[in-house]
Amino acid sequence: MQAMLKIGRTCRCAAGEFVADSRALAATEFAVIVPLMLVLFFGTVEFSSAVAIDRKVTLMARTLSDLTSQSTSVGDTDMTNFFAASTGIMTPYSTTPVASTISELYVDPSTLQAHVQWSKGSAPRTQKSLVTIPTSLAIGDTYLIFSEVSYTYTPTIGHVLKNAITLSDVSYTRPRQSTCVYYSPDTACTKY
């Protein structure tokens, strides 16, 4: 009987010491929490970079259409300058994954469909091709400057966001100084 009481006392003391011993508790908690915190940190970095780039893509699309719509006529040099100025918005991010196109559209008064007058950029649209526009902009016998910008965002760390994401935006503006923006050497608004 004495032996049984001694074993019981020893087990109770050992259990009490085990519960009271907290020497490795912080290390254990740290080992459990650190992976979760690292995933949250890197996920926040990747997500916030994607949001910042998406905002810059929107600004780039608006700038490109805005610069073009302020002219009465444009040529190849003007287009090069407009693309360079709008691409500068992407700083400090890489401009390599940027694809941008600027087009002038004519809205046919009988069908209210928009046709491409001219188009320049990374993926120029075919002249006379149809472009779907918002119904609020479909006003017959008018012109629109239409810019398209896309950016392929590849996460720098790639731990949380694993694949590249294409961020894109479009912008429509009306010519401000004339009925349409001529593309040199044209000197008149053509209607397709």
Tell me the chain's radius of gyration from C-alpha atoms.
31
CB-neighbour burial class of residue 159 (10 A; exposed 0-12, middle 13-18, buried 19+): middle
Q: Return all residues near 133 (Cβ < 8 A) that are at least 6 apart.
A: 105, 107, 114, 144, 146, 172
- pLDDT tens digits for range 165-177: 899 999 999 999 8
**For the residues 143-155, what does the mean pLDDT come to?**
93
Model confidence at 105: pLDDT above 60: yes
pTM of the model: 0.77
Q: Residue 10: its pLDDT value, please?
A: 73
Model confidence at 144: pLDDT above 80: yes
User: 58-62, 70-74, 186-190: which has the minimum mean pLDDT?
Assistant: 186-190
Q: Residue 42: its pLDDT value, please?
A: 83
Q: Residue 38: its pLDDT value, please?
A: 84
- pLDDT tens digits for range 66-104: 999 998 889 899 999 999 998 899 989 888 999 999 999
